[in-house]
Amino acid sequence: MEQLNQYSITILGSKGGVAKSILSILNHSAIDKNDPIHHVITSSKLFLIDIEQNPLDYYDTLFPHLNDKITLLQFDLSDTAKFTEHLQSTNTKLVIDVSWADTIDMLQCCNKLGVHYINSALENTAVDLDESLYGFPLTERYYRFEDIKETLTNTRAIIGSGMNPGVVQWMAFKLLEDHADNKPLACYIIEHDSSFYKDKTLIQPKTIYSTWSVECFLDEAILSYPMFVHHHLPLYLYDDVYASEFKVKLGEKEFYGCLMPHEEVLTLGEIYDFEIGFIYRVNEYTTELIRKNLDNVDDLWDWKQKLIDPSDGEVEGEDLVGVLLVYSDKEIYMYNSMKSSDIFPKYKTSATYFQVACGIYAGTASLMLDNVPLGVYYVDELLLNTQSDYGKYLKYYMQNFVYGENNSSDGLLHQRMKRME
């Protein structure tokens, strides 16, 4: 408890949408005595870093219960010497990284000083700049991180603890644990994000819309090949992501999504010996826009990029994210679904970013409160190899999980595939 009373937290990328959502949760933590980390947050200092910082009144207005804790800093995180000096001078205990900074650089600085670290996704500057890696950027980031992961032995770190990756690994782990006597043929991470503006007059020409970083979405949607893992081996379809769709059924809900590369597919694929993939459908406007431009997808990079933000106008639809276990004669599923129309009035953020923040909150609470051994963990590794209460912390803010079963099976990916004309 004495250590917790001296807690300093540094948040990287504080101007972005994910940081806004995390701060919104921490703003609630500060006044909710039942919140698992309330006693830490009330006595913490928060240092917010971005290369281009918001004004202080932005934070004061949105997060009034944190305004006496926040210090703003503005500098480029590629200056690792300055970042290291910051960690030392502020006695930072935990870094929450939701920036574009190189993950390896940030983590090595934390490892040098024994600082805890958590992020929502892997970033690698060298990969982003290397055009020869076209088709495989996400996988390359993962492999380069794997090359140094075991050298980081002086920190406690959780990598990829957003919604997906992150919460979905907990869902997969829970479903597999609940049905441990029956090994599935496949595990699919599934997402149907139908969130879009109700007022269609807000739509601008030659603009790509997404509920999260448009650039990162396009990285998966048009810059990568479809990927899945089978027998621990990543396999790729030499095709456009949007050239095919794959069927998903969750009781009465049914949709077709695209097969996209994703971190949790690789990490779960290291552990489990069955087919694993990520099937994703975004709003119909963006889906049709990409499909109509498959012959000239490179042009899409030159279009405007717009975040679907409920502060700009009412957002209808929902973001449904979950896990589907496939057997020869049935399917078992679990998912969480949130609507921006429900989340925004209370947390001033979108459903998608709030889901991500719930995963980061759960990992943050685990690093603060649990006896996690030194080392670097993906969420699935955290659940398998430590006594983390990740699930308990997660459910404090993400409470509505739907469980169900289909009494028939649509089979493996090749059986679910539908080619688009």
pLDDT digits (tens, 9 = 90+) for 47-70: 999 999 999 999 999 999 999 999
Name the amino acid, one letter, at 254: E
pLDDT digits (tens, 9 = 90+) for 356-410: 999 999 999 999 999 999 999 999 999 999 999 999 999 999 999 999 999 999 9
- Own/partner long-range contacts of 251-257 (Cβ < 8 Å, ≥24 apart): 251/333, 251/404, 251/406, 253/192, 253/320, 255/192, 255/281, 256/281, 256/418, 257/190, 257/191, 257/192, 257/281
The vertex-147 CA angle with 141 and 151, nearest 5°, equals 125
* Cα 55 versus chain centre, distance: 26
| CA-CA-CA-CA torsion sign (130, 141, 211, 277) | positive
Alpha-carbon distance of 257 to 278, in angstroms, equals 9
Through-space distance between the first and last CA atoms of the chain, rounded to whole angstroms:
62
Strands 116-119 and 94-97: parallel
Q: Tell me, what's the pLDDT at 420?
A: 87
Regions of the chain with pLDDT less than 50: 1-4
| CA-CA-CA-CA torsion sign (220, 224, 237, 262) | negative
Q: DSSP code of 162? A: B
* Cα 206 versus chain centre, distance: 27
| CA-CA-CA-CA torsion sign (121, 63, 116, 322) | negative
Alpha-carbon distance of 196 to 193, in angstroms, equals 9
260: left (phi over 0), alpha (psi -120 to 50) or beta: beta
User: pTM of the full predicted structure?
Assistant: 0.96
177 burial level (CB within 10 Å; 0-12, 13-18, 19+): exposed
The vertex-339 CA angle with 284 and 287, nearest 5°, equals 15
Q: Tell me, what's the pLDDT at 5?
A: 52
Check: CB of residue 164 under 8 Å from CB of residue 191: yes
Alpha-carbon distance of 124 to 102, in angstroms, equals 5
Residue with the two structure tokens 């990520």: 278
Structural domains of the chain, with CATH: 4-162+353-391 (3.40.50.720), 167-349+401-419 (3.30.360.30)
